A = this chain, B = another copy of it.
Amino acid sequence: MYRSHSCGELRASHINTEVTLAGWVQKSRDKGFMIWVDVRDRYGITQLIFDEDRTPKEIIERAKTLGREFVIQVTGTVIERSSKNPKMKTGDVEVLVSKLEILNAAKLPPFTIEDETDGGEDIRMKYRYLDIRRNPVKDSLIFRHKVSMEVRKYLSDQEFIEVETPYLIKSTPEGARDFVVPSRMNEGQFYALPQSPQTFKQLLMVGGMDKYFQIVKCFRDEDLRADRQPEFTQIDCEMAFVEQEDVLNVFEGLTRHLLKEINGVEVAEFPRMRYDDAMRLYGNDKPDIRFGMEFGELNEVTQHKDFGVFNNAELVVGIAVPGGNSYTRKEIDKLIDWVKRPQVGALGMIYCRVNEDGTFKSSVDKFYDQEDLAKWAEITGAKVGDLICVLSGETNKVRAQLSALRMELAERLGLRDPKVFAPLWVIDFPLLELDEETGHYHAMHHPFTSPKPGQLELLDSDPGSVKANAYDLVLNGNEIGGGSIRIHDKKMQATMLKHLGFSEEEAKAQFGFLMDAFEYGAPPHGGLAFGLDRLVAILGGQETIRDFIAFPKNNSGRDVMIDAPAFIDEAQLKELNIKLDIQK
């Protein structure tokens, strides 16, 4: 036993007891005749005192050698602190040390182990084990554990069974790129790491498992954007004998439970929005509804005049910025520059002030009179003192652009409060999505998603219009979960794969086992998967996931702490029957 108490445990009630603590030196103050040392562990900080009158001389001498992050063990008596610190849980007391053991010395850490550190991202990642000592990271990991435990508890109480599915599976050309694993025992063949346990969870439904979940690592070998990891964690769920309504109810229940247990927030029934409406009102399939600023489509009230930009546009659409009339001309010009940045890509922005006296002043007064502009205000919901921002162009592009502007303005206006939670179901997703580059349709969710009843016929005539039994759970403008009711009929699955461009042979090779399974009594089933990394970050009031992952990889997929990936032995390659094929 290295300690009798943790460093976060001592209170006034412990005064006069002898205790043994172990932990890290947070800081020390040496006044010559007296030394104070703050000792830290996961649970808190306790102040130690070494004092010429009461502490043995050799202990004082040893205390003087302590540097930051030394690992020490002390024994002493809990005494009342003369100047109490109400900000610390242990602030009423200090420990008068009688014994001091240095368990391990420490080199000076390359950045300060404080809530606000002087270390940049790169150095923190290289020394992640030091970074984890900092409260923001440590607390995030503990928070993640709590969320995971609550998820498991809730689902288990609802009779869901956590089943571990395999990690060494089979590569499928569908979806994102797989990570593969050469098989030594099966020459020339490869396993793939799962992008998700999708087919396995469906087979568990065929197997009668009824309600399945798993908190599970998934892998995608994609080029990494910021905040995307090659390995990530899903809360993966599936249920048999369910319709969409059943799935939404269960996972609305789970999400509400988490918000209550973890955040202490009670949320009413989650609103639902059709995909088409989300795109029309927010230009986005994961709208942040913590605030309004809904899109107003202005084609009808703008395309009857001589303004060619609007007349030629597929869509003219605006939003009202609350209080935006207070922006100076210069500020508005900056906003126009902002939407013209390549990341947003708008060609320009038209605006219209709603003055305090109810009159309008727009950047296109030449074309539109007060009556016209009043209609703009009506449609966008602009009030006195607001600013209407209008973009125009091709529908999909202009929606994305105005959505970006909406989010940016909300951020600036402080409307994205991380303590407010606004969940939303987005439903009725399209089944297929057109790949503009190849001209081919591919599955928007995945090839196992069922179309809405009676829409199968449209697959040939108007594939883009077919709606799916697919849904996303959106929280504060982030997709935290998504799922669908699956196909459970072999014929329909074959039809679907054909429409997605699989030859009969390919379909059999890749998904034959699943389609075979459908012939042996597959129940109707559906499910959902949450992205745990993001869910935890949002519940934790953060936008970035990195501090909620113990050992994240950088944007090149590298773990800079252990320096992986790395080269391997020639002998190892030979055993695996592969060799390097580096393009010079």
**A interface residues, Cβ below 8 angstroms from B:** 1-3, 22, 24, 40-43, 69-71, 73, 103-107, 109, 127-133, 138, 141-142, 144-145, 148-149, 152, 156, 161-171, 173, 177-193, 199-200, 203-204, 206-211, 217, 219, 221, 223-224, 230-231, 233, 241-243, 245-246, 488-489, 513, 517-524, 549-551, 553, 556-559, 561-569, 572-583
A167 & B231 in contact (Cβ 8 Å cutoff): yes
List, in ascending order, chain B residues with CB within 8 A of A246's CB.
1
A71 & B522 in contact (Cβ 8 Å cutoff): yes
Known contacts A553-B166, A557-B183; A130 and B520 CB within 8 A of each other: yes
List, in ascending order, chain B residues with CB within 8 A of A206's CB.
129-130
B209 & A141 in contact (Cβ 8 Å cutoff): yes
B567 & A521 in contact (Cβ 8 Å cutoff): no
CB A9 to nearest CB in B, in angstroms, measures 11
A156 & B167 in contact (Cβ 8 Å cutoff): no
B566 & A170 in contact (Cβ 8 Å cutoff): yes
A141 & B167 in contact (Cβ 8 Å cutoff): no
Q: How many copies does the complex hold?
A: 2
List, in ascending order, chain B residues with CB within 8 A of A141's CB.
161, 163, 209
Chain A interface mostly: loop
Contact of A128 among B129, B207, B221, B561 (CB under 8 A): B207
CB A329 to nearest CB in B, in angstroms, measures 46
CB A46 to nearest CB in B, in angstroms, measures 14
List, in ascending order, chain B residues with CB within 8 A of A73's CB.
241
List, in ascending order, chain B residues with CB within 8 A of A165's CB.
550-551
Contact of A550 among B204, B208, B489, B569 (CB under 8 A): B204
A71 & B521 in contact (Cβ 8 Å cutoff): yes
30 contacts between A and B (CB under 8 A): A41-B241, A73-B241, A103-B524, A104-B522, A105-B521, A107-B519, A109-B521, A127-B520, A129-B204, A130-B207, A138-B208, A145-B161, A164-B233, A166-B553, A166-B559, A167-B167, A168-B553, A168-B559, A168-B565, A169-B559, A169-B562, A170-B563, A170-B565, A170-B566, A179-B191, A180-B572, A185-B223, A204-B550, A577-B581, A578-B580
A187 & B568 in contact (Cβ 8 Å cutoff): no
Please report the C-alpha to C-alpha distance between residue A242 and residue B103 in the assembled complex, in whole angstroms: 12
Please report the C-alpha to C-alpha distance between residue A141 and residue B569 in the assembled complex, in whole angstroms: 39
CB A136 to nearest CB in B, in angstroms, measures 13
List, in ascending order, chain B residues with CB within 8 A of A161's CB.
141-142, 145
Contact of A162 among B148, B243, B245, B561 (CB under 8 A): B148
B551 & A166 in contact (Cβ 8 Å cutoff): yes
